[in-house]
Structure 1
Amino acid sequence: MNNNRVIFVFLFLCISCISFAQNAHVKGVILDNQKRPVVDVNISSLGNITQSDSNGFFEIDVPANKKTSLIFTHISLKMMSLTVSLKPNEIFVFNPVMSNSEEQMGEVFVSSRNKKRVQGITTIDAATIKKIPGANAGIENILKTLPGVNSNNELSTQYAVRGGNYDENLVYVNEVEVYRPFLIRSGQQEGLSFTNTDLVQNVDFSAGGFQAKFGDKLSSVLDITYRKPTQFGASLEASLLGGSMSVDAVSKNKKWSAVTGVRYRNNSLLVNSQDTETNYTPTFADIQTNINYDISKKWQISFLGNISENKYLYQPLTRETKFGTIDQPMALAVYYEGQERDKYDTYFGALKTTYKVSPTLTLKLIGSLFHTTEQEHFDILAQYRLGNVGEEQDASQVDFTRGIGSQLSHARNDLDALIANAEIKGFKEWLNDSQLEFGLKYTRESIRDRVAEWEMIDSAGFSINPPIVILPKNNEPYQPYTGPLLPYQDVRATNYNTINRFSGYAQYNKKSEIGSNQVWYNIGARFQSWNVLGAAVDGKNQIVFSPRAQFAIKPDWDKDMVFRLSGGLYYQPPFYRELRDLEGVVNPNVKAQQSVQVVLGNDYNFKMWNRPFKWVTEIYYKSLSDVNVYSIDNVRIRYVANNNAKAYAQGLDFRLNGEFVPGTESWISFGYLKTEENYADKGYIARPTDQRLKFAMLFQDYMPNIPSVKLYLNLVYNTGLPGGAPAYSDPYLYQNRLNDYRRVDIGFAKVFVDSSTKVAKANWLKNFKELSVGLEIFNLFNNQNAITNTWVRDVYSKNQYAIPNYMTSRVFNIKLNARL
C-alpha cells in the first residue's frame, strides 16, 4: 500500500481550498455575411466582457446549470443574442454569423446534447446513475436498461451490445482506454467496476456506427469524463454492500484541482441469498484520483490514477436446489469440501497534457500504464445426490435416489500483464463550421500467463471420460475397462507473449445546409498494425484499415426530427484472451474479426403534457467475417482462436425518454436482436449472445403530498440466451436456451436536503448540499433467474439432468447518501 500513501500525500499537499462559482465556457469564431472573421466584437454576459481577436476568435465563461444570455455587439454590425444552458466545465463551440442588415434578437437555446444527437450518442445524467438501484449499481447498471444492451447477470458489470460479447466494448475515462482483469470467470468475483460514479461528470454511450476517433472494437463505446472540480466538496455513501467517499479540492490560485474517491464493497449480502451456503469473505477496495493543473490558459496537465485490490475467498459448504415439474419434482443436494482463493491487483496511471497551439488548433499527449497481477487458485470437491422429492420436503430428503457422484475441480492459474500506451491527438477548427481530428498511438502489451486446471467427474463410482477425446468403449460393469483414466477437463499451458501495436485515425467533421435543411457529415478512417511475439513462436505482422462515415440531416419541418445514417468497415484486432485457444495455448496469427455495419436512426423531440420527450429509433445490420468463435460460462469467455466462421447480427431498438413525472427523467426501452454464426460451413446457429427480445424501464417518481420521498424503479426483461447445453458439447447438437431473465429493483429515498431545499441558517442541515436515506429492494418479485446449468449424469438411465444455477433472490439494502 506504499503507492496509496504516495497518492494521498501528493493529493493533500495540493489541497488549499476556496469556494467559487461553477462555470462553463463558450468559445468560437465570429464571421460576417462574407464568411470573413470579425475583430473587436464585444461579448458580454452578467458583467463579464470580452472581445474577439484578429481571427474572430472569442472565449467567455458563463455560469453553469442556469440559462444565461450572451450579447454580441459591433460598431458596424447588428446586435445578436444567444441563450445557453451548460453543465459545469462544459465547453460549447458557437460560430455565429453577424449581419449588417437585421438584428438577431430571438432566444437561441443551446445545449451540448445537440451535437451528441447527430452523432447517435446517448448521454446519461450522472445524478441518475447515483440514484437508480441495482445489485451492482453504477454506470453499467444504467446501460443495461438501454435498448440493444443485454446482461443476464446482476452480479457482473459486463454487458453485451447488439450481438457482441463482453470483449467487444470500448471504455474510455478522460480519453484513456481502461481495461478489466483477465481471469474473472464469475460475476461475484468482479467486485468493483473501474469507473467510480462519485467522480463522474459526463457519460456518453454509442451502441454502434461510431466515429473513427474511437478505437478498434466491434460493438460499443462508453466515453466517461471525470469532473474537474471548481470548489471544495465531499460526498459519502454507505450501505450494507459497502461504501464510498470522495473529496473535491481546489487551490487558492485556481490552478490546481483534484477529485479523489475511495470505495469498498462486500457482496456477502447478495451471495448469501443464493442456493449455495458458503463461507464468503471478499474484500474489494480501490482508490482513484483525477488531478488537474492549469499551467496557463493554453496549457493544462492532468493525472488519472487507480489502485485496486480485490481479494476473493470462497468456501462452499452445501447446496440445495429444487427443479423439475409439478408432476415430477426433483432436487439436487451437494456437499462441498475445499475452497477458492483468488486475488486481482491492478495499478493504473495516465498522464495527459493539452496545449492550445492557436485558437483553432489543440494538441494532446497521453501516456498510460496498466499493470495487473492475478491468481485463481482452487481445490473444491463436490459430492452430489440427485433424486425425486416431495413438494414439502427439503432437497436433502429425497424419496428416490436417481444418481450419486462427485466432482473434483483444481486450478492454479496465474497471470501478470503490463500494458503501456503513448498517444498524440489533435483537433483543428476551420471557419466554415468544420473540424479535423487526428491521432497516432503506440501500445505494448507484455503478458506472462500460466494455466493449470483440471476437473475429475465420477457418477456412481464410475469415472466420466472427457467428451472431446475418442476412447475405447466403456461397458462397465459388464466388461473391464482397458482405456486410460483421464480427467474430464485438463488445460495446461505457459505463455510469455509481447504484442506491439501501432494505430492511428483521422476524421473530418462538417456542418452545412442543403436548402433550408441542416446537415452534418463525418468521414474518417483508422488503421492498426500489430504483431505477437512469443517464447515458442512469433506471429506475422498484420495490418487493417477501417473507413467509417456518418451523415445526419435535420429537415426544415415543424416537427423536431433528426435522421442519421452511419457505418463502415470495423475491425477488432485480437487482444490476449482472443489469442488463447481452448487448451490455453496462444495462436499468434489469429486475424482481426471484421464487421461491415450499417445503422439507420431517427430522433424525434416533442412535447407531451407540456413536458419534453424524445423518441429514438435505430435499425442496424452487421455482417461479420473472420469470426473467432467462443463460448461463455458465467462471464468467462473461451475462444477457439481461429477465424473459421462468419456471422451476422440484425435488430431494431426503440427508446422513449422524457419527464413522465415533472422534473425527473425516465425512459422505456425495447429491442429485438437476432445474431447467428456459421462455423466451418456447418450452417447458421444462434450465437451465445443471441438475446432475441429485451424490454426495460427506468422510472423516477416522488410522492405528490411528500415530494421529499422519492421512488426509483429499474426493470429488465430479457428472453433466454443460448447456454443451457453441457460444457464442451457440440453447439450444433445442443441448442438449448436458458429461461427468460426477469428482474425488478426498486428504491425509496427520504431526501432531507437537495438543490431545491431551503434550509434555515440555524438548522444543522445547512452544512449539507445533499442528504438522503434510502431503502432498496433487489429482485422485488423474487424471480429465479439462472445464469448457467449444472449437468448431472445418471449412469444407470444414461440421462443428464440440467440443474439451473440461480442468481440472487430478494435482498433488502439500506443506503445513506451525503454531500457537503
Structure 2
Amino acid sequence: MNYRKLIFAFLFLCITSVSFAQNAHVKGIILDVENHPVSNVNISSFGKTVQSDSKGYFEIDIPSNKKASLIFTHIALKMMSLTVSLRPEEVFIFNPVMNNSQEQMGEVFVSSKNKKRIQGITTVDPAVIKKIPGANAGIENILKTLPGVNSNNELSTQYAVRGGNYDENLVYVNEIEVYRPFLIRSGQQEGLSFTNTDLVHNVDFSAGGFQAKFGDKLSSVLDITYRKPTEFGASLEASLLGGSAAVDLVSKNKKWSAVTGVRYRNNSLLVNSQDTETNYTPTFVDVQTNINYDISEKWQLSFLGNISQNKYLYQPLTRETKFGTVDQPMALAVYYDGKERDQYDTYFGAFKTTYKVSPSFTLKLISSLFHTKEQEHFDILAQYRLGNANADEATTIENVEFTRGIGAQLNHARNDLDALIANIEIKGFKEWRDSQLEFGLKYTRESIRDRVVEWEVIDSAGFSVKPPIVILPENNQPYEPYTGPLLPYQDVRATNFNTINRFSGYSQWNQKTGIGSSQVWYNLGVRFQSWNVSGASVEGKNQIVFSPRAQFAIKPDWDMDMVFRLSGGLYHQPPFYRELRDVNGVVNPDVKAQESVHIVLSNDYNFKMWNRPFKWVTEVYYKSLSDVNIYSIDNVRIRYAADNNAKAYAQGLDFRLNGEFVPGTESWVSFGYLKTEENYENKGSIARPTDQRLKFAMLFQDYMPNIPSVKLYLNLVYNTGLPGGAPSYSDPYLYQNRLNDYRRADIGFAKVFVDSSTKTAKTNWLKNFKELSVGVEIFNVFNNQNAITNTWVRDVYSKNQYAIPNYMTSRVFNVKLNARL
C-alpha cells in the first residue's frame, strides 16, 4: 500500500470528521404507591428541569464523571432526591415511587459500576492501559494480568481464557464484532491489535458465564467502547517501538464528532534480543476512525473504520542457543539461508444507527464488512550442528566439543488467503419498570478463498529423513541402497473456495426484585445459530444449535457490601473457517459446534482498608465440553483435527484483589488455578495444550513520596509451563512434555510534567498540554529465558530427537513520550 494514501486518508478523516456532548442520561417512570404513573413531576439537576409526561416517563441529561443530585418535586407529593455518578453516555434507569404521606428525603448514591458488578464484568480504566509497560502494550497486555487469562508470548496480543484457545474469545468494538487475520503463525508477525488504545473510552471483560446477547464463543468477551469527544483534542505517543497520534474533532453545533488515530509499530528492538540474528524489516501501520452524527433527538448514526497493513520481511542469519544442564551443557548452532516475506492487509467498515421508537423502546441496526488479504511466502534453509558445549564460552560452531547431530531443514510455503465477511444485525431494547427485554437477529456471510502449499525436507547426517505417516521401504543406508522415493517430511497442499452462511439471534430478559430485604437480579436468555458450509467440491449439511443461559445475583442486607453470583448455561461455538480446516489443509464442511456446559459461582466483596477502597473477587468455575475439535498450538498457530471426536473439561479457581494500595492509584494482584484435560476417541484423559495450572500476576502503580510527579509502573506475570513442544506427528498419548515456567517482569518509570492535577502559570509553555510525560521502560527486567516452543533436532544414527527451546525476548530498554493537547 502507498503510504501517501494512508497519510491522505488520515488527514481526510481528520478534516472531515467531526459525538455528542459528553453527558450521561437518567430516565425512568415515576409511580405512586398504587403503581399509577405520575405526571407533571419536576426533575431538576444542574439548573436544568424536565417534567414527567402523562405516562410518568422522564429523561434528563446530566454531566458525566461528576456527582449529580436530582430533585423530584410534585405539588401533591413529597420531595425525593437521588445522587448519581455516571460515565459518559451511560444510561441509568430509575423508577421511583413517590409517597404523598411520608417524606422520602435522602440520598441514594449510584455508581456506574454497580450494573457490571452484578453481571460479573471486570472494567479496566483506559488510563491504566496506556501507562502500564509491556512488549505489546495495550488492552491485551492488561488482560494478561487478570485471573483466568493466560499467555506465554509477549510478542503476541492473543490470550487464552480458562482452558480455551485463542479462537474462543469474542471481541466487540462499539457492539460490532471484530476479526483478526487467519494465517499468522508467530507472535512477532502480528503487528497491531485491532483496538487502538488512543481511542478507547471503556473496556469491559468477562471470563465466562456471560449473557446470551454476546456471541457464540466458549471462553470470554472483550467489550470495548470508543470515545465520543466533546471538544478538540490531540495526543501523541512515540517510543523506540513506534508511535501513534490521535485527534478529537467536534462540529460547532455538536451534531458531528469523531476521534481518529494512526499507529506505526516496529518490533525489531524486541526481535533483535532473541537468539536468532536476523535482517528484520517489519512495517505495521493502520488508520482508524470513529465518526458520530446526531440526526435528531431520536436518531443517531455512527461509522467505525479501519485500514491496516502488516508487512513482515524476515531474513534469519545465524542462531546460537545453549541449553541442557550444568553437568551436561549442550549447544545448537544454526546457519540460515533464505528469507520470509509475509503481508496481511485488512479493511474494515461498520455503520451503526440507533433509533428511539419510544422512550422505553430502542432499535439498533448494525452492518459491517471485513476484508483480509494475506500471504505467507518463505524459503528458509537451516543447517545445524548440535553437540556438547563449553558452559563458559559463547555458542559457536567452533566451540562445539562433541557433535551429536548435524543436518539441515528446508522449509517452503506459498500460502495465500482472501476472505470477505459481511454482517447485518438488528438489535432491540424494551423496558418495563424494573424489567428489560433485549433481542437481536443477525445474518453473516463468509466468503473464503484459500491456497495452502507448505512442505518441509529434513536431512540428518546426509540422509533424508522419511515422513512418519507414509509407508516406505526400509531405509538401511549406507549399507544398502535406498530404492524408495524421496519425499518431504511434511507436505500440505490444498485449495479451498468456501462460503459460509449463518443466521443467529438471541433474546434475554432482565429483572431486579427483592427477597425479603435482599436485592436480587435475574437474567434469562437463549441464543441460536444456524449455518451451512458450501464450496466448489464440498457441500455441508445445515446445522443449528440453541444456547440457553442464565445469571442470578443477590446482595444480602448485610453490613458488608457483598454480592453473590451464579451464572452459566449451555454454550456453543459453531466452527469458523480455521476450525473447518484439518492438519492437511482440507475443509470438512460438517464439523459440528463445540459444546460446553459452563457454571460459574462467584463472590464480590467491596471493603475499605487503610481507609481506601478495595475489592476482593473469588470465582469457581467448571466446564464440561463435548464434540471437542482438538488442536495443537505452535507459537500462535492453531491446527485443528476437524473431527469432533473428543470430550474435555476445565475447572479452576480465580482470585483478584484490587484497590488503592497506594493512595490515588489502582493496583491489583491475581491468582488462578486451572486444570483442563481432553479425552480423544476414548483413549483416556491427557492435558490440553492450554493447561496452565498456576498463574500469578501483579499490576502495581506507585510514585515517589517526595517527588509525586515521578511514577512507577510494574507488570509482573508468572505462569507454570504449558504442555507442548512435541515433535511433529508424535502421538500425544505416548509423548507428554511441558515447557518451563514463564516468568516476566516489565517495569516503567515516568516523569509527569502535566496531568489533570497539575497547575501551571498562564505564561508557562506547559499550559498548552493536558498531559505530558517522558518515561523509560525495561522489558523482562530480570532477563528470564522464557521459551514458547521447542525446535526438534534429529540424529539419524541414535534415532534421538533433542528439544532445543525457542526463547522469547531478553531484557530490552525503551524510551517513551506521551503528550495530549
Aligned to 1:531: 532
The letter for the 1-side match of 2:229 is: P
Please tell me the root mean square deviation across aligned C-alpha atoms, in Å: 1.3
Which whole-Å deviations, capped at 9, do the CAs of 1:677-705 have from their partners, x for residues lacking one? 00011000000000000000011111111
Distance 1:283 1:13 in 2: 26
In the alignment, does 2:613 pair up with 1:584? no
Which one of the candidate residues 410, 413, 417 is aligned to 1:411? 413
1:156-235 → structure 2 map (5 Å cutoff): 156-235=156-235
Aligned to 1:678: 679
1:699-710 → structure 2 map (5 Å cutoff): 699-710=700-711
In the alignment, does 2:599 pair up with 1:598? yes
Change (3 A) 1:588 1:6: farther
Which whole-Å deviations, capped at 9, do the CAs of 1:382-402 have from their partners, x for residues lacking one? 000111111222211211111
Change (3 A) 1:689 1:633: same
Distance 1:508 1:275 in 2: 55
Aligned to 2:744: 743
Aligned to 1:114: 114
Distance 2:8 2:746 in 1: 40
Aligned to 2:810: 809
Distance 1:413 1:8 in 2: 31
Aligned to 2:292: 292
State the SS of the aligned residue for 1:167.
Answer: helix
Which whole-Å deviations, capped at 9, do the CAs of 1:218-269 have from their partners, x for residues lacking one? 0000000001111111110000000000001100010000000000000000
- State the TM-score, normalizing by the size of structure 2: 0.98
State the SS of the aligned residue for 1:289.
Answer: strand
Q: CA deviation at 1:95?
A: 2.0
Distance 1:481 1:733 in 2: 29
Change (3 A) 1:801 1:24: same
| Stretch moving more, 268-277 or 91-100 | 91-100
- Identical pairs, percent: 85
State the SS of the aligned residue for 2:130.
Answer: helix
Q: Is the 8 A contact 1:80 1:104 kept in 2?
A: yes
Aligned to 2:313: 313
State the SS of the aligned residue for 1:562.
Answer: strand
Distance 1:131 1:354 in 2: 34
Task: Show structure 2 runs of 5+ residues with no match.
Answer: none
The letter for the 1-side match of 2:429 is: F
Aligned to 1:78: 78
In the alignment, does 2:537 pair up with 1:514? no
Aligned to 2:696: 695
Q: CA deviation at 1:36?
A: 2.3
Distance 2:766 2:132 in 1: 24
Change (3 A) 1:495 1:94: same
State the SS of the aligned residue for 2:628.
Answer: coil
Q: Is the 8 A contact 1:338 1:380 kept in 2?
A: yes
Which whole-Å deviations, capped at 9, do the CAs of 1:258-297 have from their partners, x for residues lacking one? 0000000000000000000000000000000000000011
Aligned to 2:617: 616
Which whole-Å deviations, capped at 9, do the CAs of 1:705-749 have from their partners, x for residues lacking one? 111111111000000000121122111011100000000001111
In the alignment, does 2:74 pair up with 1:46? no
Q: CA deviation at 1:8?
A: 4.2
Aligned to 1:797: 798
Q: Is the 8 A contact 1:14 1:251 kept in 2?
A: no
Distance 1:79 1:394 in 2: 81
Distance 2:11 2:775 in 1: 34
State the SS of the aligned residue for 2:809.
Answer: coil
Aligned to 1:11: 13
Aligned to 1:627: 628
Task: Show structure 1 runs of 5+ residues with no match.
Answer: none
Q: CA deviation at 1:47?
A: 1.0
Aligned to 1:787: 788
Q: CA deviation at 1:792?
A: 0.7
Q: CA deviation at 1:131?
A: 0.6
Aligned to 1:102: 102
Distance 1:182 1:756 in 2: 45
Aligned to 1:667: 668
Change (3 A) 1:391 1:13: closer
Q: Is the 8 A contact 1:784 1:807 kept in 2?
A: yes
The letter for the 2-side match of 1:482 is: T
Distance 1:103 1:779 in 2: 61
Distance 1:188 1:285 in 2: 14
1:54-453 → structure 2 map (5 Å cutoff): 54-396=54-396, 397-431=399-433, 433-453=434-454
The letter for the 2-side match of 1:43 is: I
Distance 2:35 2:818 in 1: 52
State the SS of the aligned residue for 1:399.
Answer: strand
Distance 1:24 1:230 in 2: 13
| Stretch moving more, 226-235 or 75-84 | 75-84
1:534-573 → structure 2 map (5 Å cutoff): 534-573=535-574
Change (3 A) 1:15 1:496: closer
Q: CA deviation at 1:7?
A: 4.7
The letter for the 2-side match of 1:414 is: D
In the alignment, does 2:731 pair up with 1:730? yes
Which whole-Å deviations, capped at 9, do the CAs of 1:756-786 have from their partners, x for residues lacking one? 1111111110101000001100001000000
Aligned length: 817
State the SS of the aligned residue for 1:153.
Answer: coil
Q: CA deviation at 1:816?
A: 0.4
Q: Is the 8 A contact 1:14 1:256 kept in 2?
A: no
Distance 1:105 1:697 in 2: 44
- State the TM-score, normalizing by the size of structure 1: 0.98
Distance 1:526 1:71 in 2: 41
Distance 1:699 1:240 in 2: 24
State the SS of the aligned residue for 1:79.
Answer: strand
Aligned to 2:765: 764
Q: Is the 8 A contact 1:372 1:416 kept in 2?
A: yes
Q: CA deviation at 1:482?
A: 2.5
The letter for the 1-side match of 2:500 is: I
Q: CA deviation at 1:108?
A: 1.7
State the SS of the aligned residue for 2:400.
Answer: coil
State the SS of the aligned residue for 2:142.
Answer: helix
Change (3 A) 1:15 1:419: closer
Q: Is the 8 A contact 1:292 1:300 kept in 2?
A: yes
State the SS of the aligned residue for 2:279.
Answer: strand
State the SS of the aligned residue for 1:626.
Answer: strand
Distance 2:134 2:377 in 1: 30
Distance 2:611 2:574 in 1: 49
